Amino acid sequence: MEFHFLIKAFFSGALVGVLGLFFHLYNTLVAKPERLRSALKRQGVSGPRPTLLLGNILEIKKARDSAAKASTNGAPASHNCGGTLLPFFDKWRQQYGDVFMFSLGNAQIVHVTQPDMVREITTCTSLDLGKPTYQAKERGSLLGQGILTSNGTIWAHQRKILAPELYMEKVKGMITLVQESTITLLNSWNNIVEEEGGLADINIDKHMRRFSGDVISRACFGSNYSEGEEIFLRLRALQEAASKKLLAVGIPGMRHLPIKSNREAWALEKEVKTLILNVVKERKEVGYERDLLQMVLEGAKNSDLSQDSIDRFIVDNCKNIYLAGYETTAVSASWCLMLLASHPHWQDRIRAEVQEICKGRNPDADMIRKMKQLTMAINESLRLYPPVAVVSREALTDMKFGDLNIPKGVNLWTMVTTLHTDPDNWGPDSYQFNPERFANGLTGACKFPHLYMPFGVGPRVCLGQNLALVELKILISLILSKFSFTLSPKYIHSPALNLVIEPGHGVNLLVQKL
């Protein structure tokens, strides 16, 4: 009798467990997404019909795969980067308007390009509007949990320790470092050009990464810069692994499956953490140094965070510095040089300005502030090829933007590539390279200046933007003072989205000494 009772109890418990799991999955995969979508539909927000589990992922993947096959030999006639990388958004926007919804798995996303709503979203300081939960889980291995999640304590602490004004002071002290790294690059190009008889075909991408890697390794890790270079190599590999999973971020459970991409990312994440904390241990033994790592360490030391949170804070900020100071600068430099190679008259204008201001000297902080032509060209390059394609947030409680009530759990996406090239904002030549539009600054370049956000905008603007701009100005001004260049016949225009927007086949330039 007792045996039969146990068997009955076992099966009853198993049945309850199965039913509980079923209802949990039904709520997660079906009921909750449908509830969120219904709340938005009642307010007039529509969008493409999602499929169960995958949402609109298959439709997005099909459009992206088709767009990826399209490439241009040489410079394109029109720089519609968003249309190349994310053609489905243009299609949906035409069909459903400036505000529409779509799904990545069970993640419900509202796409917003309406100017007033974009302003509200990007200037919102409430910690109730955080980084998407699914991004924190899937991409946190690269960009850092403390930076991406809704953890208000860590986010607020990060902004206090790495405040823009403090960060800018550090940047001012890095001018000499940037100059030295640029001169190393110039000497390398000079040797290549001489070996090729005065005209060399150079794939510049690896040179841009070597330059930015040298700057950020020394700026961040000081005397430990060789270990810093190793860390950044691993982070580059981790970025490539994370980019393979971009479309699967909203599929429940995918991050836990021991598939090849996950195993690769897990191993790299563990390796990066170990390398960073080893450098931190060495630094504590050596003592104080004037670099970004010291800035992070001092902030962490003065906090009331637990040791685990301190370690995560340090590792996360080193990852953030990598993306902002290394990857962003490298790809932005490649795109800017590609555009200048396609428009030699702008090379001449900037070169004349550099010669007039610098008079043969290396540019310093005061000099680069005076370089109006160069600033215009960099701003236009960042407009057409912004490092990041989308700014994303999640409503961590019920919120309201404009007339739209956003239920808790809904994500808000603002497409930077769309905002940067909308003819209604930038004029009929919005897909053309025309730095002259910035002649009177950003306010004179377009109707809605707040829609220009190459490094984000508002209170959560990228902390690395000042360093990236200083690097770009010194690098490009010195290159133009020593070399002229045109696009190589080998150049294939094919933008690729790997967390940042980068040249899919690299940038080849024909480089000649002046």
Annotated binding-site members for heme: 462
Binding site: residue ranges? 462
The number of angstroms, rounded, from the C-alpha of 419 to the middle of its chain's C-alpha atoms is: 16
Structure token pair of residue 315: 């590792």
Burial of 356 (0-12, 13-18, 19+ CB in 10 A): exposed
Q: DSSP assignment, residue 250?
A: T
Q: Nearest Cα to 89, choosing from 498, 497, 500?
A: 497
List phi, psi (to 5°) of 511: -110, 135
Alpha helices per DSSP H over 244-306: 260-286, 292-301
CA distance 294 to 301: 10
CB-neighbour burial class of residue 465 (10 A; exposed 0-12, middle 13-18, buried 19+): buried
Task: Tell me the CA end-to-end span of the chain in Å, nearest whole number.
Answer: 98
The three-class DSSP label of residue 4 is helix
Cα–Cα distance, 97 to 112 (Å, whole number): 9
Count CB neighbours of 19 within 10 A: 10
What type of residue sits at position 349? Answer: R
Residues 6+ apart with CB under 8 A from 345: none
Strand segments (E) across 194-350: 199-203
What CA–CA distance (Å, rounded) separates 296 from 199?
Answer: 44
- Strand stretches in 176-310, DSSP E: 199-203
What is the C-alpha separation between 494 and 476, in angstroms, rounded?
23
Tell me the C-alpha distance between 59 and 50, whole Å. Answer: 9
